A and B are shown apart, each in its own frame.
Chain A
Amino acid sequence: MEENTNPVYKDKAYGQYRELSYSYEDGGQFQKTVGFHGEADRVILQQAWDLFHERIEEARQRVISGKVSPVVYYMEKNLLDPLNLSMMAGIAVWRVKWHFRPGVFKRLSESTLQKYAAAFNITIDQLKKVE
C-alpha cells in the first residue's frame, strides 16, 4: 500500500486511506469508485488543522508565560471547548473555567487532577507541565 500514496498529499499519513465515493453521470448511472481524497477535500481539512494548530500553539505560549493553567493547553490539544471538557471530565463548566487560573490550578486536589488526567488520557505528572 505504501507505494500507492496519493500524489495530492504531501504528508504520507494522509495518502494511504482510500475511501468509497459515489458519482452520477447524466446518462442516469450511479457509480461507485474507490479512490483517494481529492484536492478540495485536502484544502478544507488543512484549513481546519491550521486553525487547530494555531490555537494549540497560542495556548502553549500563554501557559509558558504564566497567564493560564496547563488545563487550557491540554484542552486545546484535545480539540475541546470548556463545555465538552466539562462533559468528559465530569466537572461543572464554571469550575472548569475557574481552573484555568494558574493560582487555582496549583491548589487543586489529587482527585480533581485525576479527573482531568483521565479525560486527557495522560498522567498527573504530565498534566502539571506542558511540552
Chain B
Amino acid sequence: METTKTIINYTHRQAGHCESGATSNLFKFNGLELSEPMAFGIGNGLYFSYIPFLKIQFAPMISFRNLPNTVFKRSTEYMGIEATVVKKIKDPKEAMEMLDRNLERGIPTGCQVGVFQLTFFPPEYRMHYNMHNLVVFGKEGNMYHISDTVMEHPQLLSYDDLLRVRYAKGAFAPQGKMYWINHPVDRPIDLKPAIIKGIKKTVYEMIGIPFPLIGVKGLRWMARDIKKWPKKHGEDKAAFYLGQILRMAEDFGTGGAGFRYIYGAFLKEAGEMFNNHQELLEASDMMGRTANKWREFTYIGARNCKNRSKPEEDYGTLSQKLLEIAADEENVYKKLKNLKF
C-alpha cells in the first residue's frame, strides 16, 4: 500500500488555552502576527458561570470560559477575516474526507474534540470534557499530525482515534465541528476597532447579563454557596466540590487563575497599542492583582482539600476571599465600561 504524505509547514507554539492558542497559531500561519492573549481578548474568552443544578463528574458545573468556538468566531468576525465554521457533520466518514481535502489544499484545520479518549493526553487528565480544540496540519499514511496547544510538541494520532474523539458523545458533543481561515491575510488589519468591540462584549457578559448565575453575579452566588457546603453535603463532599472549582480554575488549559492572567496580558498589550492608554494599563494592573488573588485562593483551597477531615481554613474564610475577588473584578469591568478611546 502506498502511503500518502502531506504535511503543511505549520508552526506549533504552546499556549495556555487550547482555543485561543489554536486561533493565534492559525492567524500566524495566514500571515498575521497575533499573540495568544490578543486572540483571547478580542474573541471574548473570559466568562464565568456557575450552574449548581447541573452536575459534571459528580460536582456542580463551573465554567471559566465561553462556549466552544466563540474565540475563533468572534475574533475573525471583529477583524473582518473570512473564515469557515462547519458546525455539524452527520456522517463521520464524510467529516474525515473533508479534513483530508482541506489538508491536500494546504489548509490547516481546527477541530473540536472530546478529551476522554484522546490517546496522547496524560491519563490523569482524561475527563469527560468535550470543548477541547486542536489543529490538524498533516497526514502521513494512516496517521494525522496534530498540533495541540496545551502540549509542548506536535503529536501523532491515528485515523480511528481522531474519528472517535471528533464524535465523542455527551454534553456539548463536538459532532465533527471544524473551522479554518479561507485565504491568507494580505492586507494590513487595524486591530483597534476589534479590541474595542471585544472589550465591550466581555464587559457586557461579565456584568451586564441580567441573570444571577453568570459573570460577577455568578461568582458571588458561588461564594455564598461555598459557606453552606460543609453543613449541607458533609466535609468530604464539600472538599470534592471545592476541588472541582480549583481544577477548573488552575488545571491546564487556563494559563492559571481561570484565564485572568491571560486577560490581564491582553489589556496590557491593548494599552500599549493605544499609545500607552493610561486607564487600560491601570485596568491591566488591577486584573493582574486579581489573578494573583485567585492563585492565593487556589493554594488555600488545595491545603483545605489535603486535610479533608480537619480543614485549616473554614469555608467562611474561603467564601470571604471569593467575595473580595468578585468585588475586585467588578471594579475592573466598571472601569472598562466607562473607558474613552
Contacts and interface: CB of A to CB of B under 8 A. Distances in A.
B16 A21 contact: yes
B151 A17 contact: yes
Given A14-B122, A20-B14, A79-B57, A48 B247 contact: yes
Interface stretch (B68-76, B251-259, B320-328): B251-259
Contact of B302 (A20, A23, A40): A40
A47 B16 contact: no
B268 A28 contact: yes
Interface in B159-218: 164, 169-171, 173
Question: Number of contact residues on B: which range applies?
Answer: 35 or more
Given A22-B256, A44-B243, A49 B171 contact: no
Interface in B56-111: 57-58
Interface in B99-142: 116-117, 122-125, 127-128
A12 to B, nearest CB: 11
Contacts of B251: 41, 44-45
Contacts of B308: 47
Given A21-B255, A22-B16, A79-B127, A48 B243 contact: yes
Contacts of B57: 48, 79
Contacts of A108: none
Given A20-B15, A41-B250, A43-B305, A30 B127 contact: no
Nearest to B242: A44
Interface residues of A, number: 36
A87 B170 contact: yes
B128 A30 contact: no
A88 interface: yes
A76 B57 CA distance: 10
A24 to B, nearest CB: 4
Q: Which of B125, B164, B255 has the most CB of A within 10 A?
A: B255
Contacts of B116: 78-79
A92 interface: no
B97 to A, nearest CB: 22
B150 A19 contact: yes
A13 B124 contact: yes
Interface stretch (B26-34, B41-49, B291-299, B330-338): B291-299
B128 A80 contact: yes
Contacts of A34: 14, 152
Given A22-B255, A40-B298, A45 B169 contact: no
Interface in B226-266: 239-240, 243-244, 246-247, 250-252, 255-256, 261-262, 264-265
Interface in A45-98: 45, 47-49, 51, 78-81, 84, 87-88
B145 interface: no
A43 B255 contact: no
Nearest first, the 5 A-B pairs at minimum CB distance are: A22-B261, A24-B288, A40-B302, A30-B265, A88-B169
Given A18-B152, A20-B14, A51-B58, 11 more contacts: A22-B16, A22-B255, A23-B261, A30-B264, A30-B265, A43-B302, A45-B125, A47-B306, A87-B169, A87-B170, A87-B173
